[in-house]
Amino acid sequence: MSTDLATRIRRLIRASGPIPVSDYMATCLFDPQGGYYATHEPFGAEGDFVTAPEISQMFGEIVGAWLVHAWRSLGRPAPFLLAEMGPGRGTLMRDILRTARIDPAFMEAARLHLIETSPRLRAIQRETLGPHAAQCEWHDDLASLPHAPLFLVANELFDAVPVRQIVKTDGTWRERLVGLDDAEGFAFVAGAPLADLSILPDGADTARDGAIFEFAPAREAIAARIGTQLKDHGGTALIVDYGHTRSGFADTLQALRAHRYVPVFETPGSADITSHVDFQAIADAAKMAGAHAMPAMTQGDFLLSLGLAERAGALGRDKDESTQAAIRTAATRLAGAGEGEMGSLFKVLCLTGEPATLPPFG
């Protein structure tokens, strides 16, 4: 199917001209017949990448404990929406719910909602959640959520939302497009001059030729929708992803297959295509919608501040040496700053409906 997808993209380019990077990315990921998410199992050791909840239960346990604390701090609203956007196989929500049993009142007030468009993944999530699935409501998008206080988690969601790229060429900022070279291969080309220069960050005037700015209006629209729900009904949102805390210039478009980076034009539909998340843009969009955003922090600081090391020690107590080593390795991968570790690359952003201080933010 991936070969058919490449043929269809080439046909489109021949007929209509080069297409925006965002259109190429969206087609490769979400085409119903040949797109990556329609044809592949992305998660886990047998897939193409492993997310934090799949690395260790400790991630979901800490997020779950944080949500309980946030709920208490924000006035114990009842009922409230306990929601996840892009829940994958349901592993994170399963661990959150197991941990949240520390507060029966939280569980009694929670109404479980998952935002997931894939029927295949919905079926997997039902199996993962077990008895909780009977109380769960699935949605295609945020717009259909009930009007109630929202406690939302989105882990590795925004990186897969298509991004536009703006490239500086001969002193002029232009949309970066995907076209065809002389051999009918896919290639980047520069399009027409950018009409709205206001989307560019500080430093655009002095940036060198070849500089690239990534702009993701679809991501900002999601953040704005979350912000509106929080403003109108209260609650909080925890957004976790890899990216940068300030807008800047870089080409972060990447493709991953079988845990290895591959060229983004290699066999469209066969690899996960993502880009780094601009957390400043996400926060600004939510604030424009009326929510409040706390400064983003690294995943390592978030997890360690909330007791990752102590939890690892508790899990390993009275276990054999190999089990303890596996737990330490998982904790290091979640919070470490070395190559292949998530602690520095991944950031955590907290949004609230009303001004609030929720440790460890602020």
CATH number of domain containing 144: 3.40.50.12710
The mean per-residue pLDDT over the stretch 32-50 comes to 75
The mean per-residue pLDDT over the stretch 12-31 comes to 96
Helix axes 119-129 and 91-100, enclosed angle (nearest 10): 30
- pTM: predicted TM-score of the whole model, two decimal places: 0.94
Over the stretch 115-171, which tens digit does the pLDDT of each residue have?
998 888 999 999 999 999 999 999 999 999 999 999 999 999 999 999 999 999 999
Q: Are residues 343 and 323 in the same domain?
A: yes
- Please say if the pLDDT value at position 1 is more than 50: no
- Please say if the pLDDT value at position 358 is more than 70: yes
Helices (H), 40-118: 52-55, 57-73, 91-100, 104-109
Closest CA to 207 of 246, 250, 178, 163: 250
Taking the C-alpha atoms of residue 359 and residue 362, their distance in angstroms, rounded to an integer, is 7
Residue 20: HSE in the Cβ half-sphere, 13 Å Cα cutoff: 16
The CA distances from residue 227 to 79, 162, 272, 324, in Å, are 19, 20, 28, 41
User: Taking the CB of residue 232, how many other CB atoms lie within 10 A of it?
Assistant: 16
Residue with tokens 């959640």, as numbered in its chain: 129
Query: Is position 362 within any domain?
Result: no
Q: Are residues 255 and 325 in the same domain?
A: yes
Helices (H), the chain: 2-16, 21-30, 36-39, 52-55, 57-73, 91-100, 104-109, 119-129, 217-233, 279-288, 299-305, 308-316, 321-335
Better-predicted residue by pLDDT, 182 or 48: 182
For 241, the enclosing helix (H) or strand (E) is: strand 235-244
Share of the chain above pLDDT 70, in %: 97
Residue with tokens 């990448």, as numbered in its chain: 49
Choose the weakest-confidence range: 3-7, 214-218, 272-276, 358-362. Answer: 3-7
The mean per-residue pLDDT over the stretch 5-21 comes to 96
Predicted confidence at residue 37, as pLDDT, reads 84
Residue with tokens 């058919």, as numbered in its chain: 4
Q: Are residues 146 and 181 in the same domain?
A: no
Q: Are residues 91 and 238 in the same domain?
A: yes
Residue where a domain terminates, one of 193, 215, 237: 215
- Into how many domains does the chain fold? 2
Q: Are residues 67 and 129 in the same domain?
A: yes
Residues 6+ apart with CB under 8 A from 264: 253, 254, 255, 271, 273
> What one-character DSSP code corresponds to residue 19?
E
Q: Are residues 175 and 89 in the same domain?
A: no
Asked if residue 37 lies in contact with residue 29, where contact means CB atoms within 8 angstroms, the answer is yes
Q: Are residues 45 and 61 in the same domain?
A: yes
Over the stretch 302-326, which tens digit does the pLDDT of each residue have?
999 999 999 999 999 999 999 999 9
The mean per-residue pLDDT over the stretch 34-44 comes to 78
32-52 residues labelled b (16+ CB within 10 A) or e (exposed): eebbbbbbbebbeeebbbbbb
Asked if residue 81 lies in contact with residue 115, where contact means CB atoms within 8 angstroms, the answer is no
- Please say if the pLDDT value at position 2 is more than 60: no
Mean pLDDT estimate for the chain:
95
Domain span holding position 12? 2-20+163-215
Over the stretch 282-298, which tens digit does the pLDDT of each residue have?
999 999 999 999 999 99
